Structure 1
């Protein structure tokens, strides 16, 4: 679920599929007003026998951008980048979809999601980023033309150099490795992909993307975060760091930036003695590059997960409130008691005193 602050609308999406995955759809609903409990324009986009796994969305002025991992049957065909006709969906008209299928070597793309009242430069493409290798990110550019779809382009990748890292759980060998207290199962760190959102902001004199993913470090798992600048020119990492603790594992992060350039990063924390809990750290725009303060304990879990396919998340969400462009809202899961498929959700809000609200 995302909020399109440019139009004052909500976007809600859910997969639909039959029992043997031979017919698969991405259902998308756009609210007709800013009331999330009101009416919606509803759409069903057909993917046939290709299961559109792990969908992620981003709001952009010219479209709603979506990434999926495509599974025809039991095989993996690669990531696919799609764009939905935002202008049509806002008025409930028939809406088209433009997609670019990638090779199996490209997985788990993440589309950029616009924050703030300053739009990207006119005609700027949406950015898709994923992990390339242990020292690089891939950046792609998606230009969608709904009037003439043949003019649409998906270009890249541009390689962005990052500090070397290793995956937390080596997913090809051991999918789940992050521990919980006694009776809890080890859970998947999902460290083979960037975590939701790829938050974009235009400051006028520069453009920034912030992103994060789980890496090997500390007790076992830490969170690597980046600020990437000049994404439509010569994309580069302006700052980066890895958040680790010697006794606690950090993973399932989500990151965003306010209008003053302050950053909050929320994530899950767990160990053999700590039930999965919600933590956050913050980087003030006046701090040295790569420095985070905290962690702030948002909520301590009181139970562990078992017999739940070892999945956790699959993602959390950090967003910036468009009414003041300063307040961060973070949501993640936890367990109140040790159980199976019985997670609960907490929502936290916080802001930097230095941020002056001028949202829309």
Structure 2
């Protein structure tokens, strides 16, 4: 009897162990499923290599900043969304970061514009000086509802002629083919340090007349274009989150708006979810020549760039814009805005798609003078206000003969 009782007890313990193991496995599977399915906007990707892979050792300042953000936003170390110890960051992220001069090895030899960027690269906020009176509906014919297409144009305060040419051509807002189109111009501050005259009074009159300006009070420089993108995404998330599509572009581009609307009309919901079209650049790396506009020193960034679309202009869905807003919080600001957008897309696991009609590097000289070429394109970079006014009638009146 004793031996039989012992065997029965052993079988009972084995059954208990199996039940406990099954419960543990079920809990782990449930947690993995929750992480995967809770939000399509922040989906956890299954790793293709070793799971516990150490961060590569780097002396580059941006890479170390990104490692810090990866740790703070890690769903493993902070599963409830807590961002851990914030003492690693300055108390006010918009004040100059005192660590930079000592942690960037060649800081004292960098151009002043680069020093300024590094000192303030953690700043993601700025006071809004001018905003459209009707919010996302704009003040230029878009109405009060959410637009089908939002044309968000990066501009500079002195570029009055460029903005007016866009209003009279491809950025003419209203209802086009039954679809509402709204145009907004994104601006920073024209700093006297950049040798700009006092133009804020004229800008205020322009805003009163057209109601299509968004202006923040940060210094509008080349390296702050990334901050402009982040501030726009924040505004979009608060005031325009129901817009179906967004076309981001510079104020020296030509956009074939009817062709854009035609392209969007043929998309289904699945195609819309990850829609990001542009002139895609792959296998790029930082320029190391200090004389070049896109120079980034090794002390700041190591590695290659993810695929990204040329910043002259790209098209994306409103849904993806909101996901980019979430991703931008987890990516350290980078001094080149289109590369930064590519980094945010990579964080989402979204690959930018090449759009055949996007020419963000302009056209060959032999083609520039032929208006018929522009009918088949979506976006061309490097156009003057005079060229826009000359080209637009050929797009607006397709009955014109093109041989």
What's the TM-score once normalised by structure 1's chain length?
0.27
Instruction: Decide which structure has greater strand share.
Output: 1
TM-score of the superposition, structure 2-length normalised? 0.25
For CA contacts below 8 A with separation 6 or more, give which structure has more relative contact order.
2
Name the structure where helix makes up a greater proportion of residues.
2
